[in-house]
Structure formats: structure tokens, C-alpha cells
Amino acid sequence: MKLEDFDFELPEDRIAQHPVEPRDSSRLMVMNPSTGEIEHRVFRELPELLQAGDVLVVNNTRVIPARLIGEKEGTQAKIECLLLTRRDKDVWETLIKPGKRLKAGQTVVFGDGLLRGELLEILPDGNRLVRFDYQGIFEEVLDRLGNMPLPPYITEQLKDKERYQTIYAKESGSAAAPTAGLHFTPELLERLQDKGVEIVEILLHVGLGTFRPVKVDNVEEHTMHSEYYRVAPEAAERINRAKSQGRRVIAVGTTAARTLESVAEENGRIAGKEGWTDIYIYPGYTFKILDGMITNFHFPKSTLVMLVSALAGRDQILKAYQIAIAEGYRFYSFGDAMMIL
């Protein structure tokens, strides 16, 4: 498969710059890959579209204020540091801009010395390992100094930091939000549960590797970055019980989908476990757990478009995306949603 097979023209005005209010007023395209039928709904109508017994699997990761602006010690040159993955207690894999300004052993000072970061190593992919020094609790220092790492295609300021968090976000560690979950409100979750839809939480800390552009012509040669995940034994048990009873398991977002398929066994069951996954899903992949997915509309030529194409078929997805563009759907992180069943 060629990278060009997943390309499409996206007008710039289809890229959502701000979230809609309330969260569940976003649009929802409902797609049945087996029939090709497409329905246009509103996200708050989700309880009408699901059945009692369905399981929604959500990613309860929380985005950290991972963008830090500091100065190179001794020169006051401006340095931007984006935290990607925690490697040890105070060691993080980071993205440094401009990278050429900082060499191993040099230090960046943030917040007049509240936080200091020493560059330990330049990794083969260009990311940097940085060890931080501070007084107190790192998360509290980060909350004071850091900014929310909004994607570069969002040029408007976000007034409320919590708007880039899901309402069920719990454990801090992501460099980007699992955006399919941004459409849920407490009231909507309550209505779903009242109907008999089961909500199961799992964890995957989202790194920027998921969103990095594919730079090879043959998509099968692309290498995914690793991300930390955790599926509790109780969550695995609930999902296995649903599958054994013939109930549908629907992932909320590509991160939940990748996590489920990472822990899936060939017999269609999952195990409670934690670790690092670099699973790469593209057409030809056989899903072991998923019966459906709720997701946003993604970048051309991205691994995310490949993943949804693996579930629904490339031609079906590209056709649905053209309809979405024509119908004025909003794309990317703050955009509208699609449900594939």
C-alpha cells in the first residue's frame, strides 16, 4: 500500500479552531461499513444509537501542561521544551526547539529557576532525554509553569484548559488528548448508563508519535513510537464477559482501540496487563476485539486514517470523508465525530 492511497484534499476552513459548547452538541456521522449507509446525527443522540449491553471503552488519561518555555543557561536563548514520555522519575523524553541550540550537558532554566532541565542525550529520532531538577512535587511545578500542548494547527488560544481534557480524565501523562472523548458530558454518560450501556476505563498515555507524519512511500515500512498503556484485570474481565455474551465492544478513540488490540489474544479475549505498545494498524489488520469505534476526522495520509480504514475499508472511509467535507463537518481535535458500527 502506498501513502498516496490515504490522501485527500481538506480545505483549511474545515479544521476546527475551537470546541463547540456544550461538548455533546458536536455533529456525529454514523457509518455502517457493511451497507455503506451514512446517517447524520448529533453526538447527544448517542444513547439512541447504542443498545443495552454495549460496552464503551474509554481512555482515562489526562493531558499534562507539557509545553515549557525557558532559557538556555548562560546565554538566555529561548528554548521550548515539549514533554513527551516519562522515562524515569525525573527523566523525560522531550522535543526541544530549536534543537541545535542545546547540547548534552547543557541546562535550560524555567520559571526563574523553579525548574531546571539538563540535556542528557540526543536520541536517534531527534528527541532529547532531559533530567529535571526542582523543589517539591513535579506535577505542581509543571502545573504552574507549563502550557497545554495544543496541536500546531490550532491557532486560537484556549480559554479553559479543562476543555482539552475529557470529563473522565484521571491519570496525568499524555502529551495530547484522546480527542474522541471530548464530546462526552456527565449528563450524556448518565443517560448511556441508564440505558444499560457499560462504560469501561483503560489507560494509554498519548504521545506525539501517533500524530507524526508518515515519511515513507510504502506504509508498511512506517515505525510507530511506543506509548505506555494499562488495562486493569477488572476492566479485562468486564470486556471478556461482554464478548462471551455476544455484546458489542466499542472503542472511544483510536487510543482505546490500539490499547485493546495490543492486549488482545488470538482467541478474542484480553488480559489485564500494562506495558508499552507500538502497535500499528492499517488495512489488512484483523481486529480481535472491536465491534465499532467512535472517532474524530483525521489528517490525510496519517496512521489514524489508516487505522479507521482497517476497520471500515479505505474506500468507505475516503468516501465518508468527502461527504463530511461537503456537509461542513469540522475536522481534527476540536472537530466533529464519526461512529463506525
Convert the pLDDT of each residue in 32-46 to its tens digit.
998 889 999 999 999
Tell me yes or no: is domain 67-147 CATH 2.40.10.240: yes
Say whether pLDDT at 128 is over 80: yes
Convert the pLDDT of each residue in 219-242 to its tens digit.
999 988 889 999 999 999 999 999
Say whether pLDDT at 211 is over 90: no
Cell numbers found for residue 74: 548562560
Residue 87: Cβ-neighbour burial (10 angstroms; 0-12, 13-18, 19+): middle
Calpha distance 191→121 (Å, rounded): 50
Percent of the chain with pLDDT over 90: 82
Confidence of residue 126 (pLDDT cuts 50, 70, 90): confident
Q: Go through the chain and tell me how many residues it has.
A: 341
Looking at residue 38, what is its pLDDT? 97
Residue 272: Cβ-neighbour burial (10 angstroms; 0-12, 13-18, 19+): middle
Convert the pLDDT of each residue in 106-115 to its tens digit.
999 999 999 9
Confidence of residue 250 (pLDDT cuts 50, 70, 90): very high
What does the pLDDT average to over 304-316? Answer: 96
Calpha distance 286→219 (Å, rounded): 17
- pTM (two decimals): 0.90
Looking at residue 160, what is its pLDDT? 85
Say whether pLDDT at 210 is over 70: no
Say whether pLDDT at 9 is over 90: yes
Average pLDDT, the chain: 94
Instruction: Count Cβ atoms below 10 Å from residue 202 Cβ, excluding itself.
Output: 24
- Low-confidence winner among 5-14, 96-105, 242-251, 305-314 (lowest mean pLDDT): 96-105
Convert the pLDDT of each residue in 323-332 to its tens digit.
999 999 999 9
Say whether pLDDT at 334 is over 90: yes
Looking at residue 212, what is its pLDDT? 74
Long-range CB contacts (< 8 A, 24+ apart) of 116-123? 116/73, 117/68, 117/70, 117/81, 120/91, 123/93
Convert the pLDDT of each residue in 55-86 to its tens digit.
999 999 999 998 999 999 989 899 999 998 88
Q: How distant, in Å, are the alpha carbons of 4, 13, 89, 239, 291 from that of 251?
A: 27, 28, 31, 11, 8
Percent of the chain with pLDDT over 70: 99
**CATH code of the domain made up of 3-63+160-340:** 3.40.1780.10
What does the pLDDT average to over 151-176? Answer: 88
Residue 170: Cβ-neighbour burial (10 angstroms; 0-12, 13-18, 19+): exposed
For the chain, domain boundaries: 3-63+160-340, 67-147
Q: Which residue has the cell 495530547?
A: 176
Calpha distance 62→65 (Å, rounded): 10
